[in-house]
Amino acid sequence: MKVQTPPLPKGTRDFYPVDMRVQNHIFNIWRRAALKYGYEEYEGPTFEHLELYTGKSGEEIVSQLYNFTDKGGRALALRPEMTPTLARLVIQKGAELRKPFKWFSIPRLFRYERAQKGRLREFFQLNLDIIGTESISAEADLISAICAMLLDFGLTENDFAIGISSRRLLAAFLESLEVADANLIYPILDKSLKMPAEDFEKELLNAGLNDEKAKKLKAFMNCRGIEEIKGLFEWQGFSELEELFELIKIAGYEKSVKLDLSVVRGLAYYTGIVFEVFDKAKNMRAIAGGGRYDNLTETLGGQRISGVGFGMGDVVLADLLREKNLLPQSNTDLPVFIASFKSDMKILFKTAGEFRKAGVACSHSLNAVKFSKQLEMANAANAKCVIFADGEKTKGEYFEYKILSTGEQGCLTWEKIKEKL
């Protein structure tokens, strides 16, 4: 009986070379932007002790864990996010790490969630975090970096928007309403934009608010600027929010940000500013999300060290870039293909060796096939030029060549040929 090949697991992806080229493009721009902003790269293991996540990250993410018991009986989980690992790294080195510091990572993450457009069970997520400062400048740095990298991808201010809110502001407003349990209200606010106004009100009443408080909360949620909110209640924290918008404006990205009180964020550890990045048409799931978490290290058994950061997944971003036609041509770009008139494998290996020693990427046929077949292979590999290893004039530093885009042929040193590519 013929064995059936098991299919690709649900919610995962294969990365054929054409997909890897897209992936590398995204990672390159992410990495370049993070380095340009002075973030240093770090990594951790893909699995951690289960208890690093349970109870600390918020209900949703915990219900989405891929967890297992290993052969030594340890309860482990594939990492669903990077922030708890980062907190563990920070706790372990404690005072040794000079703070504040800015780190980034591009982890592969796993979440057992319903696979759908923009949400998979295995994905990559750029993380930028700043540890050890309570200054609002950290939020401004992160949000500017998001804008800079999205523009680097070729997106414009018309393509994305960053909604900024503050857990502290929400908490203060709920306190002013004398709401008994704010934790019951957050999930409703989080969903507020996705449900009809009547349902929103119904849910608030179900959560124990009376008519008047529900109305006030609705008015609050409809505010589109800090000035408007100031008219609703008194609060010490407005100046910090104003400073954040001011710094983002000075960085040149004010058009990309707005106050958006419906941004609540599902994760339990956020304590201050929270933000989410959306495509402007709002057709897609969030491109990125983050915020300030001042108590995470303490919750995980360390000292209290404040942090702020965000995660940007590769899935929605790639969808958006594809929609806007901003993904690179998925061609290989091999500079050199080496061919032999005599289909002589020895001379192919010898010449290829010389080119590679000089740092030039090249390939050649591994079968002794006809010359015309070798040219076909060079075209299929999208090579920029073909070097004729045993051309009549090929000698010493000089190589017979053909530039594939123009058809130009000749005999020159590699230095000269390179100028033509």
Considering only the stretches 193-201, 209-217, 286-294, 412-420, report the one whose residues sit in contact with ligand HAM under the rule CB under 6 A.
Answer: 286-294
Q: Which residues within the stretch 55-84 sit at the binding site for ligand HAM (CB under 6 A)?
A: 81-83
Q: What is the closest distance, in whole angstroms, from the C-beta atom of residue 163 to ligand HAM in the complex?
A: 12
Q: Is 309 in the site for ligand HAM (CB under 6 A)?
A: yes
Among positions 106, 136, 263, 288, the unique one binding ligand HAM when judged by CB under 6 A: 288
Among positions 107, 163, 272, 311, the unique one binding ligand HAM when judged by CB under 6 A: 311
Q: Is 260 in the site for ligand HAM (CB under 6 A)?
A: no
Q: Is 289 in the site for ligand HAM (CB under 6 A)?
A: yes
Helix (H, G, I), strand (E, B) or coil at 137: helix
Q: What is the closest distance, in whole angstroms, from the C-beta atom of residue 287 to ligand HAM in the complex?
A: 5
Helix (H, G, I), strand (E, B) or coil at 277: strand
Q: What is the closest distance, in whole angstroms, from the C-beta atom of residue 49 to ligand HAM in the complex?
A: 17
Question: What is the dihedral angle through the alpha carbons of 56, 61, 67, 72, rounded to the nearest 10 degrees?
Answer: -10
Of 171 and 284, which has the nearer Cβ to ligand HAM? 284
CA-to-CA dists, residue 217 to 2, 33, 81, 171, 308, angstroms: 64, 39, 32, 12, 27
Q: What is the closest distance, in whole angstroms, from the C-beta atom of residue 60 to ligand HAM in the complex?
A: 8
Q: Is 263 in the site for ligand HAM (CB under 6 A)?
A: no
String of contacts with ligand HAM for each residue 200-239, x by CB under 6 A: ----------------------------------------
Considering only the stretches 111-119, 219-227, 346-354, 358-366, report the one whose residues sit in contact with ligand HAM under the rule CB under 6 A.
Answer: 111-119
Q: Is 119 in the site for ligand HAM (CB under 6 A)?
A: yes
CA distance 161 to 281: 9
Q: Is 297 in the site for ligand HAM (CB under 6 A)?
A: no
Q: What is the closest distance, in whole angstroms, from the C-beta atom of residue 84 to ligand HAM in the complex?
A: 8
Q: Is 163 in the site for ligand HAM (CB under 6 A)?
A: no
Query: In the β-sheet with 336-339, what is the strand arrangement from edge to edge?
Result: 362-364, 336-339, 385-388, 398-403, 409-413
Q: What is the closest distance, in whole angstroms, from the C-beta atom of residue 276 to ligand HAM in the complex?
A: 7
CA-to-CA dists, residue 192 to 58, 119, 179, 189, angstroms: 19, 21, 18, 5
Phi, psi for residue 214 in degrees, rounded to 5: -60, -40
CA distance 180 to 402: 78
CA distance 224 to 281: 18
Considering only the stretches 149-157, 217-225, 308-316, 340-348, report the one whose residues sit in contact with ligand HAM under the rule CB under 6 A.
Answer: 308-316
Helix (H, G, I), strand (E, B) or coil at 70: coil
In total, the chain counts a number of residues equal to 421
8 alpha carbon, distance to own chain's centre: 23
Among positions 129, 139, 141, 400, the unique one binding ligand HAM when judged by CB under 6 A: 129
Q: State the CB neighbour count (10 A cutoff) for residue 32.
A: 13
Q: Is 240 within 8 Å of 139 (Cβ atoms)? A: no
Among positions 78, 259, 316, 339, the unique one binding ligand HAM when judged by CB under 6 A: 316
Structure tokens at 42: 């770090």
Residues near ligand HAM, by CB under 6 A: 81-83, 111, 113, 119-120, 123, 125, 127, 129, 267, 286-290, 309-313, 315-316
